[in-house]
Amino acid sequence: VALESPGWGAAVAPLAVSVAASRVYTGVHFPSDVLAGAALGAGAAFAVRGLVPARAQLVPPARPRAEVPALAEGEGLVLVANDASGTSDRARALRDVLPKAEVVECAPEDVGDALEEAAGRAVVLGVCGGDGTVNTAAETALRHGLPLAVLPGGTLNHFAYDLGVEDAKDLGRAVRHGHGVRVDVGRFTSGRGQGIFLNTFSLGVYPELVRLRERWTDRIGGWPAGLLAALRVLRADRHPLEAEVQGRCRPMWLLFAGNGTYHRMGLAPGRRLDLADGVLDVRVVHGGRRPALRLLSAALAGPLTRSPAHAAVQVRRLRLAGLEPGTLLAYDGEVTEVEGEVRLEKLPEALTVYRPLPDA
């Protein structure tokens, strides 16, 4: 616990010590037994940290630096919070850190309008919610030329965590001192429509999984819904997606494009260590008779760029043609349908965001 959070470690330590002492006091164990057990436990903790690194080990570089306003008490920051994400506690925590910041709590269907209104009077636009809400805020910030302050308020919070923002204290420190960076933005166009993604874009089985997960989340919770949706998708009788990728027709179960390169750290899920590397991290799981086996093999292959199950490449733009109308695509947890040819491209260092510096 202490390796992940020193504060919680200090709180748990007295309980651990009292349990160890009680085993010796009651005569259940010799002192050497307790010491050996403590050594084994500590060794296991360090071994697990090697396989699944703590977030403090995965802090991305604070570059390229950006000039952003330093708001000592938060005056000029207007933060829109999606109350469907359970953001009330986080919004109160932000008020404690930045007492003059304005916080607007609204329902999910009103987030877009609330962000537009906030952008009209804000020096800094803020957002608290999941990755889909942050995506909407980023579009608004780009359109109005405002820096964005992101407070994690959803289930996964990929973008905020990759920035190094864990809570209101992290964000407050960055806003007070005026610490910011410029980050890349991914953009996709499909027919006449277009959108951006801060995290990922995908085609194939994943958009169907997202749609099922969202349908069941309110009834059984986010993580159980995700697991049930994955089982449902993998067991379904389906055919691989057919698409023309960079001029070649390919069957595939999944196409994933990350806004920046995702790195595997031990057995942990991928994290981005650089949010302004200028590339799309494209992973393709090849088509075959058994999607579950193919997807599992691709996951275990990890950093390998080529395997019988999948391929990986970093590019600046990508063109996908030959997709059936109505094919689902997912971006930052949102799902829509394909309309004609799909093009992906990078907008290098397009968005300015607040990010706490490690030494601040």
Question: Residue 162 maps to which CATH number?
Answer: 3.40.50.10330
| Co-location of 107 and 10 in the same domain | no
Residue 267 pLDDT class (50, 70, 90 cuts) = very low
Identify which has the larger pLDDT, 251 or 74.
74
Contacts of 38 (CB under 8 A, 6+ apart): 20
User: Residue 294's pLDDT is what?
Assistant: 58
Residue 100 pLDDT class (50, 70, 90 cuts) = very high
| Co-location of 158 and 206 in the same domain | no
User: Residue 216's pLDDT is what?
Assistant: 78
| Co-location of 146 and 86 in the same domain | yes
Show the tokens assigned to 136.
Answer: 């909407």
- Domain membership of residue 81 (yes or no) is yes
Q: Does the pLDDT value for residue 7 go beyond 70?
A: yes
Looking at every residue in the chain, the average pLDDT score rounds to: 85
Classify each residue of 12-21 as buried b or exposed e, where b means 16 or more C-beta atoms within 10 Å of its C-beta: eeeeeeeebe
Rounded to an integer, what distance in angstroms lies between the CA atom of residue 165 and that of residue 183?
Answer: 14
- Domain membership of residue 59 (yes or no) is no
| Co-location of 219 and 340 in the same domain | yes
Q: In total, how many domains does the chain have? A: 3
> What's the predicted TM-score (pTM) here?
0.78
- Domain membership of residue 354 (yes or no) is no
| Co-location of 150 and 269 in the same domain | no
User: Residue 302's pLDDT is what?
Assistant: 55
- Domain membership of residue 18 (yes or no) is yes
| Co-location of 333 and 228 in the same domain | yes
Residue 254 pLDDT class (50, 70, 90 cuts) = confident
- Domain membership of residue 357 (yes or no) is no
Q: Does the pLDDT value for residue 15 go beyond 50?
A: yes
Decide which of 161, 183, 205 is a domain's last residue: 183
Residue 200 pLDDT class (50, 70, 90 cuts) = very high
- Domain membership of residue 308 (yes or no) is yes
Q: What is the CATH number of the domain that holds 283?
A: 2.60.200.40
| Co-location of 91 and 168 in the same domain | yes
Lowest-pLDDT choice from 85-89, 107-111, 255-259, 267-271: 267-271
| Co-location of 155 and 205 in the same domain | no
| Co-location of 200 and 171 in the same domain | no
| Co-location of 241 and 154 in the same domain | no
Residue 116 pLDDT class (50, 70, 90 cuts) = very high
Q: Which domain holds residue 269?
A: 193-348
Q: How far apart are the first and last CA of the chain?
A: 24
Residue 217 pLDDT class (50, 70, 90 cuts) = confident
User: Residue 297's pLDDT is what?
Assistant: 58
Mean pLDDT of all residues in 98-109: 94
User: Residue 268's pLDDT is what?
Assistant: 44
Decide which of 158, 183, 208 is a domain's last residue: 183
| Co-location of 72 and 144 in the same domain | yes
Which CA distances in Å does 277 have to 57, 181, 201, 257, 348? Answer: 19, 13, 17, 14, 8
Rounded to an integer, what distance in angstroms lies between the CA atom of residue 328 and that of residue 209?
Answer: 10
Mean pLDDT of all residues in 136-149: 98
User: Residue 62's pLDDT is what?
Assistant: 63
User: Residue 174's pLDDT is what?
Assistant: 96
| Co-location of 209 and 236 in the same domain | yes
- Domain membership of residue 292 (yes or no) is yes
Q: Does the pLDDT value for residue 360 go beyond 70?
A: no
- Domain membership of residue 270 (yes or no) is yes
Mean pLDDT of all residues in 22-40: 90
User: Residue 305's pLDDT is what?
Assistant: 56
Decide which of 183, 205, 236 is a domain's last residue: 183
